Amino acid sequence: MSEHHSFSRRPRNVEEFIQEANVPVPVRPADAEPLPWAQAREDVTKPYQLRLPEKHYLMLKYIADKTPYSMHAFCLDTLLKAIETKALEISRVNHFTHKAD
C-alpha cells in the first residue's frame, strides 16, 4: 500500500495545478560542483596564523607606522583581493577544463 503525503500547498483548481506543473525547475549541470565558499557566512571570521620572514614583518610594521593602516588591516585588505582574484582564476580554468572533457 502506498503512503499518502499531503501537499504543502494545494492548488486551488485544476488549471492552477497544470500551470504550476509547467513552470521549469532550475537544474544545476550534473558536472558542476558548488564552489567551497558558495555557502560561506559573511558574519563568520576564521583565524589563520601568518608567519612572515623578519624582513617582511618589519616592512609591514613600517607600513602600519607610516599609514592609517594597522598591520592586520593592511594584510586583510591586500590579501583578500589577492585570494579572490586567484580563486576565481582557478575556478574559471577548472570550469573550462571540465567542459572540454
pLDDT digits (tens, 9 = 90+) for 3-50: 555 555 666 777 777 777 776 655 545 456 788 898 899 999 999 999
Q: Per the domain annotation, does 100 fall within a domain?
A: yes
Q: Per the domain annotation, does 55 fall within a domain?
A: yes
* Residue 66 domain boundaries: 49-101
Q: Per the domain annotation, does 2 fall within a domain?
A: no
Q: Per the domain annotation, does 27 fall within a domain?
A: no
Mean pLDDT of the chain: 80
Please report where in the chains the cell 589577492 appears, as a residue: 82
Task: Give the chain's domain count.
Answer: 1
Q: Per the domain annotation, does 6 fall within a domain?
A: no
Q: Per the domain annotation, does 17 fall within a domain?
A: no
For CA atoms 45, 47, 52, 58, the dihedral sign is: positive
Q: Per the domain annotation, does 10 fall within a domain?
A: no
Q: Per the domain annotation, does 11 fall within a domain?
A: no
Q: How confident is the model at residue 97 (pLDDT cuts 50, 70, 90)?
A: low
